[in-house]
Amino acid sequence: MMKISYTLFFKALSNDTRLRIIDLLRKGPRNATEIGKALDIEQSMVSHNLACLINCGFVIAKQNGKNKVCSLNKETVLPLLEIIDSHVEQYGKNLEGCKVLKDVRKTIK
């Protein structure tokens, strides 16, 4: 059971659009329209990926009038991102030089 959950967790984070949304939300809460404009992404793609992030608990959405304002889950996701930042700072060159990940590097924009 844990293997499936871990695989799904990292699969959710491996999508470029979702990663860009998460990175933008690190700077502060935004609604879907603001996210789309900031990242130059179609509204349907923003909504589709936000739905995944919200459903999986990465993003919290709160109604504010007619808009849903989205922010990162401060309890779990922000601390995790800080740990990842620390890891990448220490092992970034190893990640970039990893021969097993060479095909992945080619697909990164």
Predicted confidence (pLDDT) per residue in 88-108, tens digit: 999 999 999 999 988 876 777
Domain 2-107 in CATH 1.10.10.10? The answer is yes
DSSP string, the chain: -HHHHHHHHHHHHT-HHHHHHHHHHTT--EEHHHHHHHHT--HHHHHHHHHHHHHTTSEEEEEETTEEEEEE-TTTHHHHHHHHHHHHHHHHHHHHH-GGGHHHHHH--
Mean of all residue pLDDT scores within the chain? 93
- pLDDT over threshold 90, residue 25: yes
Q: What is the pLDDT of residue 102?
A: 82
Q: What is the pLDDT of residue 22?
A: 98
Q: What is the pLDDT of residue 109?
A: 61
Residue with the bigger pLDDT between 102 and 52: it is 52
